[in-house]
Amino acid sequence: MTEQLRLMAVHAHPDDESSKGAATMAKYVSEGVDVLVVTCTGGERGSILNPKLQGDPYIEENIHEVRRKEMDEAREILGVKQEWLGFVDSGLPEGDPLPPLPQGCFALEDVDKAAGRLVRSIRAFRPQVITTYDENGGYPHPDHIMTHKITMVAFDGAADAEKYPESEFGPLWQPLKVYYNQGFNRPRTVALHEALESRGLESPYGEWLKRWEEFERVERTLTTHVPCADFFEIRDKALIAHATQIDPDGGWFRVPMEIQKEVWPTEDYELAKSVVGTSLPEDDLFAGVRDNA
Q: Which residues are annotated as a binding site for Zn(2+)?
A: 13, 16, 144
The bridge status of strand 177-181 relative to strand 266-274 is antiparallel
Q: Which residues contact 210 (CB under 8 A, 6 or more apart)?
A: none
Side chain identity at residue 244, one-letter code: T
Annotation: binding site: 13, 16, 144
Side chain identity at residue 87, one-letter code: F
- The strands making up 6-11's β-sheet, listed across from edge to edge, are 81-87, 34-41, 6-11, 129-132, 177-181, 266-274, 224-227
Residues 111, 112, 114, 119, Cα dihedral to 10°: 130
What is the three-state SS of 163-177?
Answer: CCCHHHHCCCCCCCE
Quick check: 223 and 274 in contact, CB under 8 A?
no
User: Phi and psi dihedrals of 175, rounded to 5?
Assistant: -60, 150
- Consecutive H or E run containing 88: none
Taking the C-alpha atoms of residue 282 and residue 24, their distance in angstroms, rounded to an integer, is 14
